[in-house]
Structure formats: C-alpha cells, structure tokens
Structure 1
Amino acid sequence: MDHLIQFWPILKRLLIYLKPYQKKLILAFVLLLSGSISEVLGPILISYFINNILSKHKLDLIIILTIIILFIMLQILSVFMNYFQSILFNQIAVKSINKLRQDVMYAALRQPISEFDSQPIGQMISKVTNDTEAVKELYDTVAPTLFRSTILIFIILCAMFALEWHMAMIALFILPLVITIMLVYQNYSTPLLRKVRYHLADINNKFNETINGMNVIQQFRQQRRFEEKIKKSSHLHYISRMKILRLDGFLLRPLLSLLSAIILCNFIFLFSFFPIGAFEVGVLYAFITYLGRLNEPLIAITIQQSVLQQSIVAGERIFSLIDSPKQKYGKNKDVLKSGKINIKNVNFHYPNSKKNILENININIPSKSFVAFVGHTGSGKSTLANLLMGYYPVKNGRIYLDNKSIDSISHGTLRKNILMVQQDPIILSDTVLYNITLGRKISTEKVWSILDTVHLSSLVKSMPNGISSVLGEEGNNLSVGQKQLLAIARILVAYPKVLILDEATANIDSGTEQLIQKTLLSIRKNCTLVVIAHRLSTIIEADLIVVLKKGKVIEFGTHQQLLKKKNCYWKMYKFQLSKF
C-alpha cells in the first residue's frame, strides 16, 4: 500500500512539468487519436468486403477499388499521424527534462556543504543524468503509449459491440484480469526498481571515485581491488535487473497472450455453437483481427507499467534531492562597512558527529588586520574558516561580521564580502580570462593588471593564445603555486572585506611563497586577512596569531610575544626552523 500512496503524488508532480506545453500536448493527443481511429477502421472495411462482396460474389470493380483506396488512405493517414505525434511528444519530453534537470542542478548547487561531506558524488550525478533520463521515458514513451493504447482499446470495444455484442462481452472479460495483473506487478516491481536505481547510482559513484583517484590507485597498485568493487556493484545491479526481467517474463506478455488465446477459443466455441447464419464470416474475421489488436495495447499498457514504475522511482530520487534542505542564509542585504570579526563562545560539531571540533572559541579581529590561525592537524583551523564562510550554521555561540550576526547576512552580501583561497583551488577547464572573472564584467586591461600583481603575466603571455588560452581540466597544466596565484587573482577583481587563506602556501616552493607574500602585503591594505598557516614563516608579520589545539584556543599574541612565552607556538616554530 505504501507504494500506491507514493505513486500518485510523484506522478502528479512529474506531470506538472508538462503544463507549459498544454497546447502542443493537446495537438499531439489529437493526432494520436486520429491515427488510432484510422488504424481501427481498416478491419471494418475488410469485414464489409467479406460479408457484402466476397461471400455474395458481387464483384463490383468500382466498390472494390474504393474499399482498397480507402483502406490504403487510412493506413497512410495512420502512419503520418503517428509520425507527427511522435515528434511532438519527443519535443515536449526534451524540453520538460531540460527544465527538470535545471531544477535538480539548482537544488544541488544550493545543498548545504554538510551534504557533500556525507553523500557520494556519484549518487548525485546519477540523479542528474540517469534518473532524469528515466523520467524522460515517462513523457515521450509512457504517456503517449498509455493514451494510444487506452483509445485503441475503447475504439476496438466500441467496434466489437457494434458488430456483435455477445462476442464483445466475452472479450470484455480480459480487462479486469489485466488490471489485476498490473496491480500485482506494481506491488512486486517497485522495491526491485528502487534497488536497480540505487545500484546504478553506486556504479556511477565507484567509477567517479576510481577516475578521480587514478594516480593513487596506480601508485599503490590498487587496480585489482577497485575492479572487484565495481564488479560487485555491477553484479548486484545485474541480479536486481534479472529479478525484474523474470517478473516481466511471467506477468507480462506470456500471461496476457494466454488470456487472449482463451478468449479466442471462446470466440470459436461461440461461433460453432450458434446455428449457421447467426454470425457472419466477416464478423468473425473482424473479431479475430480486433482480438489481436486488443492484445497488443493491453500488452503495451502492462509493459509501460514497468517503464512507468522506473520513472516514478527515478522521480522519487530526484524529488528527494529537490526537496532536501537548502543552504540557509539571512535576509540582511546591507553592505558590510568593515571587515571586523567577533567570535563569541562558539562550540561546533559536524552533523554526523557528536564530538565538538571547536570548544568555547572567543576571538576579536579588528578590520583590516592580519590574523593567523595555527595548530597541528585536527586542531580545528579549517573548521573555523568554514564557519566564517557561512558554510555551516553556528548553533552554539555567535559569529559577527561588521557587528552583524553571520546567520542574518544574505547570501549575496556574504559571498561578496568574505572569500577564501583554499589549499587546492578549483581551476575550471576554461580560458585564463574566465577563470579570473568567473562571469563578472571586467575589462581585459584590468585582468592584465591583476596578473601583474600576482606575478603571472609572463606565464600567461607565454601561452599559445595568451589570456584566451584554455587551461586543462582542474588546471593540470599549471603548478600548485600557479594555481594558488590564479585563485588570488580572482579575489583581486573586487576586494572583499575579509579574505581567508586556508593553508595556501603549504605545498609550494619558497620562490612562489615569496610572490604570494608580496601579493598579500598589497591585499592587506584593503581587507581583513585571515591566514590558516602551515608554514609559520608566512605569518611572522601577523597582527595576531591564534594557536589552536584540539578545538581550543590555548594561546594568542604576536609572533614575538608568543616566542617569549616559550609554549606551544615556540615549540612549533623551533621545530620548523630545525628542518631547514
């Protein structure tokens, strides 16, 4: 019963995507109806020919030619009508799926960051690709097939009753049997189809994981292990698919063909039982033809039941993403006048964990100051940076930007005024120009000026197409340091009030580090600079250094003040000096 309860709301919601194309849909259904009527009228003409011309030997050439021409015209009309309705249904389906995919992507782009921490990327990709493709079949195959089959059944039954109601009543018994088969099929197929969609998404996820981690897999010779993982997922998908195929093989065509055969036997029995002349041969021919044609739409409806179930299960997965909670932001659109940051009594743990990552954090950062967070791995530095970015809601404590609570600031204001350069910045497979502007309106002259500031102009000039050169996927034709400088160049398009650098110099050479240091000195004059530092040499000039350990602030001060304390920071600094 749960499957039936879920079925209709999802189907109704999927059909809403067809609403903008009502006129085209009506035209497509009219063409489909016309084609079906043309198809059904053919056997009536042949029945008339058998009963009134062939059996009575009234071979009137004009009447025969007229019947032949009408029969051919009906078949041609049926072909053309079906062709144009097919084109219309496919156009509507593609447009509807485009809108659905846009909604799915809109929802994915607004997911809380925590969702990406816990949800496999392949599962989400599968919802955008495979599941929307399954829904497309609802629009371009299931809906027209069900409508056409229903109309055919109705017209055929009307024709049967018009010819001979006794035989039509016998044919009518097949309908409740088919409906029963469809309900049984739906009950058993829905859970199996859910498993199929899940295993398909799991295969996508494992392929995504394998391709992204190819360097590590080959380096540590893990090819066999990953082959086995994909093989296992593929086998589970195969088992689920085979269960559905067995269900289809039993409940669909063979069982329906058996029912049709039983009805045909009843026709023959009835024809033989009644006295000669009670039924005309042409009527028997028409009924046998109609029974064959009635069998096909019934089988089509039951087969489309399988496709419909797949579409509903896919729709269920899609709407679970669309309906999932979005990243929440405030409504305050006031421009931030300064980069002042106040962190008060902040405690934080990730949604899938109860252990606090940050405990009782209290930090005041004046506007246009240079602040550094340092500490060993797992001390909570990056978590604190993510909270400042607004990626996670602060449930215990408060973070204020320019004296405004961060959860009250609108998305546009927050993203405009606080930006982050990560340790491994994302480089798009696009031109150098687009990677810097990211769609923002900015002159080429200013871009070159920014490239000069971050010391990348000589590199870009050496590229084949200069600023219009396309960078490789994930910037694989750039060094780590060049990626960092390019990420900083994006920031310089419009200075934010707060700039966070999350271990931005951790994996670069000393020469590039000096270039970044020079760039930071110019940025520092215009915004608050928050640096999560791995190399302590990059934060000697900081106005405030905050030392974190196991999510707690254990000491803070300037570089010189912390060295005099000879505590945790002093030990970290001495250890790094000893390595060089």
Structure 2
Amino acid sequence: MDHLIEFWPILKRLLIYVKPYKKKLTLAFFLLISGSISEVLGPILIGYFINNILSKHQLHLLTILTIIVLFIILQILSVFMNYFQSILFNKIAVKSINKLREDVMYAALRQPISEFDSQPIGQMISKVTNDTEAVKELYDTVAPILFRSILLIFIILFAMFILEWHMAIVALFILPLVIILMLIYQYYSTPLLRKVRYYLADINNKFNETINGMNVIQQFRQQHRFEQKIKKSSHLHYMSRMKILRLDGFLLRPLLSLLSAVILCNFMLLFSFLPTGAFEVGILYAFITYLGRLNEPLIAITIQQSVLQQSIVAGERIFSLIDSPKQKYGNSKKLLKSGKINIKNISFNYSNCEKNILENINIDIASKSFIAFVGHTGSGKSTLANLLMGYYPLKHGKIYLDDRSIDSISHCVLRKNILMVQQDPIVLSDTVFYNITLGREISEEKVWRILNTVHLSQLVKSMPKGIYSLLGEEGNNLSVGQKQLLAIARILVAYPKVLILDEATANIDSGTEKLIQKTLLSIRKNCTLIVIAHRLSTIVEADSIVVLNKGKVIELGTHKQLLDKKKCYWKMYKFQSSKF
C-alpha cells in the first residue's frame, strides 16, 4: 500500500510541469486520437470487403478501388498524425524537463553548506542529470504511449461491440487480468527500481571521487582499490537491473501473449459451436486482427509501467532535493554601515559530530581593525570564519554585525559586505576576466589595475588572449599561489565591510607574501580584516591576535603582549622562528 500512496502524489506533481503547454498538449492529444481512429478503421474496411465483395463475388472495380484508396488514405493519415503528435509531445517534454532541471539546480544552489559536508556530490549530480532524464521519458514516451494505448483499447472494444457483441464480451475478460498483472508488477518493481537509481548515483559519485583524486590515487598506487570499488557498485547496479529484467520477462510480454492466445482459442470455440451463418468470415477476420491490435497496447501499457515506475522513483529523488530545507538567511536588506563584529557565547558543533568544535567564544572586533585567529590544526579557526560568513545556523550564542544579529541579515547583504579568500580558492573554467568580475559590470582597465595590484599582470599578459584567456578546469594551469592571488583580485573589485583570509598566503613565496601584505594593509583602510594564519610572521602588525585551542579562546592580545606572556602564542612563534 505504501507504494500506491507514494505513486499518485509524485505523478501529480510531475504532471504540473506540463500545465503551461495546455494548448500544445490538447493539439497533440487530438492528433493522437485522430491517428488511432484512422488506424482502427482499416480492419473494418477490409472486413466489409471480405463480407460484401469477396465472399459474394461482386468484384466491382470502382468499389474495390474506392476501398483501396480509403484504406491507403487512412494509413497515411495515421502515419502523419502519429508523427506530428510525437514531435509535439517531445517538444513539451524537453521544455518541461528544462523547467524541472532549473528547479533542481535552484534547490541545489540553495542547499545548506552542511548538506555538502555529508552528502556525496555524485548523488546530487545524478539527481540533476540521470534522474531528470528518467523523468523526461514520462513526458515524451510514457504519457503519449499510455494515452494512445488506452484510447486504442477503447476504440477497438467499441468496434468489436458494433461488429459482434458476443465475441466482444469474451475479449473484454482480458482487461481485469491485465490490471491485476500491472498491480503485481508495480508492487515488486518499485523497491528494485529505487535500488537501481541509488546504485547509478553511487557509480557517478565514485567516478567523481576517483577523477578528482587521481593524483593521490596514482601517487599511492590505489588504482586497483578504486577499480574494485567501482566494479562492486557496477555489479550491484547490474544485479538490480537483471532482477527487473527477469520480472519484466516473466510478468510482461509472455503472460500477456498467453492471455491473448487463450482469448483467441475462445473465439475459435465460439465460432465453431454457434450455428452456421451466425458469424461472417469478415467479422472473424476483423476480430482476429483486433485481438492482435489489442495485444499491442496491452503490452505497451505494461512495458511503459516499468518506465513509469522508473520516472516516479526518479521524481521521488528529485523532489526530496527540491523539498529539502534551504540555507536560511534573514530578511533585512539594510546595508552594513561598519565592519564591527561582536561574538557572544558561541558554542558550535557540526551535525555529524556530537563534540563541540567551538566552546563559549566571546570576541569583540572593532570596525576597520586587523584581527588574527591562530591555533593548532583543529582548534576551530576555520569553523569560526564559516560562522562569520553565515554558512551555518547558530544553535548557541549570537553573532552581531554592525550591532545587528547575523541571522536577521539577508543573503545579498551578507555576501556584499562579508567576503572570504580561502586557502584553496575555487577557479572557474572560464576566462581570467570572468574569474575576477564574476558577472559584475567592471571595465577592462579596472581589471588590469587590480591585476597589477596583486602582481598577476605579467602572467596574464603572457597568456595567448590576455584577460580573455581561458583557465583550465579548476585553474589547473595556475599554481596554488596564483589561484590565491586571483581570489584576492576578486575582492578588490568592490571592498567589503569585512574581509576574511583563511590561510590565504600559506602557499605564496616570501617575496610575493610581502607584496600581498602591502595590499592587505591598503585594504585595512576600507574594511575589517580577519586573518586566519599559520605563518605568524604575517600577523605581527595585527591590532589583536586571538589564540584558539580545542575550540576555546586561551589568549587574546597584540603580538607584543602575547610574547610578553610567554604562553602558547610565545611557544608557537619561537618554534616557527627557529625553523628559519
């Protein structure tokens, strides 16, 4: 019963996507009906020819030619109408699936950051690609074939009842048997189809993981291990597909063919036992032809039920993404006047971790000040930066930006006023110009000025097309340091109120680092600068240094003050100094 309960709501929701195309859909169904009627009228003409002309030897040339011409016209009309309805259904399907993909991408782009911490990327990619393609079959294949098949069944049965109602009643017995067959098929196929969609997404995820980690895999000679992982997922997918094929092979065509053969035997018995002349040979021919034609839509309905089930299961996965909670932000669109930050009693842990990453953090940061977060790996520095960006909802404590709670500020205001340069910045597979502007309207001259500021102008000038040169996938033709410089260049397009640098100078040589320091000092005049630093030499001029250990603030002060205390920060600084 659970399968039946889930089936109808998802189907109704998927059909909503074709609502904007009502007129085209009506025309497509009209052509489908006309084509089906033209197809069914053919055997009636042949039956009339057998009964009234051939059996009575009244071979009038004009009558025969008329029947032949009418028969050919009906077949041509059927072909053309079926062709045009197929084109219309496909157009509607493509437009509907485009809208569905837009909705899926809209939902994916607004997923909470925490979802990407726990959900494999391949699973999400599979929902956007494979699952939407499976739903497309509902619009361009399943719906028209099911409608045409059901229509053909009713037209054929109507024609049968007009010709001979006794034999039509015998043929009618096949319908309840087919319905029972379909219900049994749906019951057993749904869980199998869910497994197929899951395993396909798992294969995508493993391929994505393998390709992204190819350097590590080859370096540590893990090719065989990853090959076995993909092989295992492929085998599970294969076994599930085989179970469905066996189910199809048993419950679909063979059983339907058997049912049709039983009905045909009943026709022969009925024809044999009734008095001579009760049936005409033309009527028997029409019934045998119609039984063959009736078999086709019944098989089509049952086969399409398999595709329909796949579409419903795919729709279920898609709507689970669309209906999932979105990243929550406030509604206030009032711009920040300053970069003042107050962190009050913040305690935080990730959803998959019971232990707090941050414990009772209290920090006040003045506007246009230079603050540094330092600490050993796992101390909570990056987590605190992510909370300041508004990436995760706060469960305990508050963050105030410009004396306003961060959870009351809208997404557009946050992203305009708080920016972050990460240790491993994202570089888009696009031009240098687009990677800096990111769609913002900025002149080429300004882009060149920014490139000069971050000392990338010589590199870009050496590229074939200058700022319009394409960067490779994930910027693979740039060094890690050059990627970080490019990320800083994005910031310089429009100064935010708060700029966070998460180990942004970790992979830059000492010469370039000094140049970046000068750039950062100029940025300080316009915004609050928060630096998460591993190299303590980069933060000696900070107004305040926050030392974190195991999620707690253990020291707070200037570089000189912390050295004078000779505690944790002093040990870290002495250790780094001794290495150089």
TM normalised by structure 1 equals 1.00
Q: Which residue is 2:341 aligned to?
A: 341
Indicate the residue corresponding to 1:64 in structure 2: 64
Q: Does 1:456 align with 2:452?
A: no
Question: In structure 2, what is the Cα distance between the partners aligned to 1:504 and 1:366?
Answer: 22
Residues in 2 aligned to 1:461 and 1:233: alpha-carbon distance in whole angstroms:
47
| Residue of structure 2 equivalent to 1:404 | 404
Report 1:79-478 matches (<5 A): 79-478=79-478
The 1-side partners of 2:253 and 2:519 are apart by 72
Instruction: Report the alpha carbon displacement of residue 522 of structure 1 after superposing the two structures with TM.
Output: 1.2
What is the alpha-carbon root mean square deviation over aligned residues?
0.6
1:21 aligns to what? 21
Amino acid across the alignment from 1:536? L
**Which SS does the other structure have where 1:18 is aligned?**
helix
Which whole-Å CA distance do the structure 2 matches of 1:397 and 1:240 have between them? 49
Distance in 1 of aligned mates of 2:161 and 2:87: 34
Deviations 1:138-174 (A, max 9, x none): 0000000000001100000000000000000000000
User: Which amino acid is the alignment partner of residue 17 of structure 2?
Assistant: Y
- Deviation for aligned residue 1:480: 1.1
Q: Secondary structure at the match of 1:554?
A: strand
Letter in 2 for 1:389: M
Percent identity over the alignment is 87
Q: CA deviation at 1:512?
A: 2.2
Paired residue type of 1:225: R
Q: Give the whole-Å Cα distance in 2 for the aligned partners of 1:511 and 1:216.
A: 30
- Does residue 1:497 correspond to 2:497, yes or no? yes
**Inter-partner Cα distance in structure 2 for 1:223 and 1:485:** 34
1:293-315, CA deviations, whole angstroms, 9 ceiling, x for partnerless residues? 00000000000000000000000
Distance 1:572 1:324 in 2: 44
Using the alignment, how far apart are the partners of 1:79 and 1:522 within structure 2? 74
Question: Segments of 4+ in structure 1 off by > 6 A?
Answer: none
Counterpart residue identity of residue 388, structure 1: L
1:238 maps to amino acid: Y
Alignment match, 2:525: 525
Give the whole-Å Cα distance in 1 for the aligned partners of 2:520 and 2:455.
Answer: 12
Match runs of 1:509-548 below 5 Å: 509-548=509-548
> Residues of 2 paired with 1:93 and 1:541: CA distance?
62
Map Cα deviations across residues 405-451 of structure 1 (whole Å, 9 max, x no partner). Answer: 00000000000000000000000011111000000111111111111
Q: CA deviation at 1:454?
A: 1.0
TM-superposed deviation, 1:507: 2.1
Amino acid paired to 2:90: N
Paired letter, 1:29: F
- Partners in 2 of 1:208 and 1:160 — Cα distance? 57
Letter aligned with residue 89 of structure 2: F
Mapped to 2, the partners of 1:455 and 1:519 lie a distance apart of: 10
SS in 2 for 1:333: coil
Q: Does the CA-based 8 Å contact 1:170-1:266 persist in structure 2?
A: yes
Q: Deviations over 1:69-107 (max 9, x none)?
A: 100110010000000000000000000000000000000
Q: Secondary structure at the match of 1:471?
A: coil
Per-residue CA deviations over 1:104-151 (Å, capped at 9, x if unaligned) read: 000000000000000000000000000000000000000000000011
User: Any idea what the Cα deviations from partners look like across 1:284-339, whole Å, max 9, x if unmatched?
Assistant: 00000000000000000000000000000000000000000000000111110000
Shift of residue 457, structure 1, vs aligned partner: 1.2
| Residues 491-525 of structure 1: per-residue CA shift (max 9 Å, x gap) | 11110000000011122221221222121111111
The residue identity in structure 2 corresponding to 1:467 is I
Amino acid paired to 1:180: I
Deviates more, 1:451-460 or 1:429-438: 451-460
The separation in 2 between residues aligned to 1:460 and 1:220, in whole angstroms, is: 35
Residues 522-549 of structure 1: CA distance to partner in whole angstroms, max 9, x if unpaired? 1111000000001001101100000000
1: CA distance, partners of 2:429 / 2:353: 35
Work out the CA distance in 2 between the residues paired with 1:252 and 1:429: 48
Q: State how far apart, in whole Å, the 1-side matches of 2:459 and 2:353 are.
A: 45
**CA distance in 2: counterparts of 1:414 and 1:287, whole angstroms:** 73
* Gap runs ≥5 in structure 1: none
For 1:176, the aligned partner's letter is: P
For 1:267 and 1:55, the matched residues in 2 are separated by 21
Question: What CA distance in whole angstroms lies between the structure 2 residues aligned with 1:9 and 1:509?
Answer: 59
The total of aligned residue pairs comes to: 580
Return the letter of the residue paired with 1:240. S
Aligned partner of residue 284 in structure 1, secondary structure: helix
Amino acid at match of 1:428: L
1:323-378: per-residue Cα shift (whole Å, max 9, x none)? 00000000111110000000000000011121100001000000000000000000
* Distance in structure 1 (CA, Å) of the matches to 2:64 and 2:429: 69
The whole-number CA distance in structure 1 between the counterparts of 2:489 and 2:165 is 82
| C-alpha separation in 2, matches of 1:316 and 1:286 | 44
2:177 alignment partner AA? L
TM-score (norm 2): 1.00
Unaligned runs of 5+ residues in structure 2 are: none
Q: Give the letter aligned to residue 288 of structure 2.
A: I
Q: Distance in 2 between matches of 1:461 and 1:359?
A: 49
Q: Is the contact between residue 202 and residue 233 of structure 1 (CA under 8 Å) also seen in structure 2?
A: yes
Aligned to 1:76: 76
Q: C-alpha offsets along residues 194-225 of structure 1, whole Å, 9 cap, x if unaligned? A: 00000000000000000000000000000000
Letter in 2 for 1:477: N
- Say if 1:505 and 1:534, in contact at 8 Å, map to a contact too: no
